[in-house]
């Protein structure tokens, strides 16, 4: 089923019972352990770049409430934001508080500035905006001034102001620097770009995360939308149903989740039917190695 047909059914109030794959919505979404603690984290979450950068208008915010509600109803908890994302942190905090679901969220955000004093001020503000104390995960955005912020974050973790710490980036050219930090400093998380159209992470950084016991969040899992463009007007192959992929979105996410180093993928959306489609990728089995090669060959004939 094409993603657009899937979402039309959802928008019309229809649901897909997963009968063809044996899945049932009573099943739990796939969860992965955070290596540093053993805590289980749902494998599908939510990014908020652009999508949650809205004002107080209810017409803008109501779909976002539905997005959060859909994620939670299907077992998701991870919401990732940043001061770089405009008003997103505050919108997440406000609407999750109004919905009385803030306590259910695994709230992740970032520090995106230089200097110790500026970093502390910005992180305090982010925690206030997201209304989450302690914040679950604080990350150094694009590794900016990481040498300074990592010292603060270590202290904050010891003090209980943050539960986990990490670093992030969104381009492959940053992987070598990220790997060096992973080797030299204790981290709970990394966040990086990985998709079926951008698979460099498979070469060394994801194996290193497994080796070092570092959880991995995945941004840009759809390659900035390029994957959907590459299959425009194509039907998803019937054999994809064997591992529960009923839409192209689920096809792309299941490939990523089949890598054991991946803890959680965080595609961004402001549309409830896309959130539902994303969440369903976390149900049912994942493709095996033979199927993964078949998936790659399909996209890159």
Angle at 150 between CA 146 and CA 151, to 5 degrees: 125
Nearest to 213 by CA among 41, 38, 45, 40: 38
In DSSP terms, which residues pair with 107 in a beta bridge? Answer: 79
Q: Which tokens belong to 258?
A: 């089949």
Q: Where do the structural domains in the chain lie, given as residue ranges?
A: 37-235+259-284
Nearest to 78 by CA among 252, 279, 287, 224: 279
* Per-residue model confidence (pLDDT) at position 11: 43
User: Parallel, antiparallel, or unpaired for β 78-80 and 31-33?
Assistant: unpaired
The H or E element that residue 192 is part of is strand 189-193
pTM higher than the cut 0.85: yes
CATH topology of domain 37-235+259-284: TIM Barrel (3.20.20)
- The C-alpha atoms of residue 93 and residue 99 are separated, in whole angstroms, by 10
Indicate the length of the chain as a whole number.
301
CA dihedral 126, 129, 131, 133 (to 10 degrees): 20
Nearest to 252 by CA among 217, 301, 287, 284: 287
Q: Which residue has the tokens 């990014």?
A: 47
* Per-residue model confidence (pLDDT) at position 120: 98
pLDDT in tens, the chain (301 residues): 444 554 444 444 444 444 333 345 458 999 999 999 999 999 999 999 999 999 999 999 999 999 999 999 999 999 999 999 999 999 999 999 999 999 999 999 999 999 999 999 999 999 999 999 999 999 999 999 999 999 999 999 999 999 999 999 999 999 999 999 999 999 999 999 999 999 999 999 999 999 999 999 999 999 999 999 999 999 999 999 999 999 999 999 999 999 999 999 999 999 999 999 999 999 999 999 999 999 999 998 7
- The C-alpha atoms of residue 137 and residue 122 are separated, in whole angstroms, by 14
Q: Which residue has the tokens 């905006």?
A: 129
- The C-alpha atoms of residue 164 and residue 153 are separated, in whole angstroms, by 9
* Per-residue model confidence (pLDDT) at position 14: 40
DSSP 3-state assignment of 195? strand
Model pLDDT for residues 184-234, shown as the tens digit of each residue: 999 999 999 999 999 999 999 999 999 999 999 999 999 999 999 999 999
**Cβ pair 241, 20 in contact under 8 A:** yes
User: Parallel, antiparallel, or unpaired for β 40-42 and 31-33?
Assistant: antiparallel
Task: Provide the 8-state DSSP code for 191.
Answer: E
* Per-residue model confidence (pLDDT) at position 283: 97
* Per-residue model confidence (pLDDT) at position 236: 96
* Per-residue model confidence (pLDDT) at position 26: 56
């Amino acid at each position: 089923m094409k993603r657009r047909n899937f979402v039309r059914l959802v928008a019309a109030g229809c649901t897909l019972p997963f009968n063809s794959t044996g899945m049932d919505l009573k099943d739990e979404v796939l969860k992965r352990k955070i290596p540093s603690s053993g805590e289980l984290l749902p494998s599908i979450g939510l990014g908020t770049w652009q999508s949650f950068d809205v004002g107080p208008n209810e017409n803008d915010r109501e779909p976002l409430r539905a997005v959060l509600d859909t994620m939670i109803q299907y077992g998701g908890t991870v919401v990732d934001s940043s001061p770089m994302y405009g008003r997103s942190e505050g919108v997440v905090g406000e609407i999750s508080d109004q919905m009385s679901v803030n306590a259910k969220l695994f709230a992740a955000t970032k520090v995106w500035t230089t200097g110790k004093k500026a970093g502390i001020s910005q992180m305090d503000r982010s925690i206030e905006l997201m209304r989450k104390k302690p914040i679950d995960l604080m990350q150094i955005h694009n590794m900016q001034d990481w040498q300074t912020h990592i010292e603060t974050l270590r202290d904050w973790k010891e003090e209980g102001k943050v539960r986990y710490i990490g670093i992030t980036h969104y381009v492959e050219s940053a992987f070598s620097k990220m790997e060096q930090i992973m080797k030299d400093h204790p981290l709970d998380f990394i966040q990086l770009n990985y998709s079926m159209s951008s698979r460099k992470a498979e070469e060394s950084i994801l194996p290193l995360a497994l080796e070092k016991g570092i959880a991995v969040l995945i941004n840009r899992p759809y390659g900035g939308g390029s994957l959907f463009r590459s299959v425009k007007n194509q039907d998803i192959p019937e054999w994809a149903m064997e591992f529960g992929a009923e839409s192209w979105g689920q096809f792309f996410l299941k490939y990523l989740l089949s890598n054991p180093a991946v803890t959680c993928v965080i595609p961004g959306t402001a549309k409830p039917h896309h959130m539902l489609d994303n969440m369903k990728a976390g149900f049912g089995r994942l493709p095996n190695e033979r199927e993964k090669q078949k998936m790659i060959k399909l996209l890159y004939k």
